[in-house]
Structure 1
């Protein structure tokens, strides 16, 4: 089980790193107003970003599969809820990558035929971007709900120190609020992400170094 905990910790770090780098490569392009003009010339960055976010989605599913047998010992219903939420998150993240791929094709076509300023093509491009971000926000909503169940199991079972579980509960509550506001069209910035970000860095390090306190069960 200590080996499993270490693998889960590595997957958490891989997921976070892949997402941060991948989104960092794509977001400056996706937020441009002249999006069709600049996407195809930057398709290498876009494709690399898509690949890294795909790694993130696969790592998320791996975390769910590895933790399920352990968590169900302590709370089977909540463990199943966490497992289902992370699989749903993985699927939503993969679907969200269709948007950037469609945008690359639209950009290439519009530049090739000289219609990058065409309002119809621009509308399709911006729609692809909106779908991408909306699916991402829904994935974050699903993640936050499932991860609150996860942190409750951690807190109740003392698999990790309770102070760490509390940070997770606070962090995912903030993420839930942020994702709900974003889905409703309200952007308050990234301040609500900070506690969750701390948890997703400290937890995997703890799992790699200390593992899970299975004796608590």
Structure 2
């Protein structure tokens, strides 16, 4: 019981750390990446971009650790979903965060070359700018999809076992579906970021719940027959 409470508090705190880090990464890089003269802006704000990368990695580590820490509890109820959550949230999602961080660091490298170049080949730098920005956007979309699949596994498990109140896990399931659809559409064009807010808010509410209340000690094991076939 005490171990379950401790795990719940750690999960809640890691959710909050991950979310705050994600917000800070946008604060430091958002306006820079939207600049019309990208390489000059990145060069002038190199430290901001590097800080943004740092917070992206902190976010990835924090959220990845959620899957690892919650696994001992989750596997008692359904090992398949627990392991799937570790794979998607702990491994695949972190891979996309690292890839996105690398794309930002490459922007820093090319911005230095752009500023120091004696004779600028505008076409080449413009092409590289487009490649880095487009690849970064696609990586973020892929990360959204992977994140959503992992979230659906977790919230389905939480809903079936009643480890948290059903209203909270139901909110997570619905919000994760919206998040997933948003990620898929983002692969093909701009989407409304407001559609991602329901899940972000739900995670913060759940984080506070876990820190204060913890997991339900009377949660039940999932009958294997209730798990959808893939």
TM-score normalized with structure 2 length = 0.90
1:85 aligned partner: 88
Matches within 5 A, 1:9-88: 9-86=12-89, 87-88=91-92
2:163 aligned partner: 159
Distance 1:190 1:207 in 2: 26
1:7 aligned partner: 10
**Is the CA contact (8 Å cut-off) linking 1:50 and 1:97 kept in structure 2?**
yes
Distance 2:105 2:53 in 1: 8
Matches within 5 A, 1:54-203: 54-86=57-89, 87-114=91-118, 118-183=122-187, 185-203=188-206
**Which whole-Å deviations, capped at 9, do the CAs of 1:151-172 have from their partners, x for residues lacking one?**
0111111100000001101111
Alignment gaps of 5+ in structure 2:
221-230
Distance 1:75 1:24 in 2: 38
**Which whole-Å deviations, capped at 9, do the CAs of 1:115-172 have from their partners, x for residues lacking one?**
5671201211221122122112111101101111100111111100000001101111
Alignment gaps of 5+ in structure 1:
none
Cα shift at 1:34: 1.2
Cα shift at 1:36: 1.0
Distance 1:106 1:186 in 2: 26
Moved more, 110-119 or 170-179: 110-119
Distance 1:202 1:37 in 2: 40
**Is the CA contact (8 Å cut-off) linking 1:36 and 1:122 kept in structure 2?**
no
Could you say what secondary structure the match of 1:215 adopts? coil
Cα shift at 1:216: 1.9
**Which whole-Å deviations, capped at 9, do the CAs of 1:70-129 have from their partners, x for residues lacking one?**
111112111111111112101111111111100101011110125567120121122112
**Is the CA contact (8 Å cut-off) linking 1:144 and 1:172 kept in structure 2?**
yes
Aligned residues: 216
Could you say what secondary structure the match of 1:208 adopts? helix
Structure 1: 4+ residue segments shifted above 6 A: none
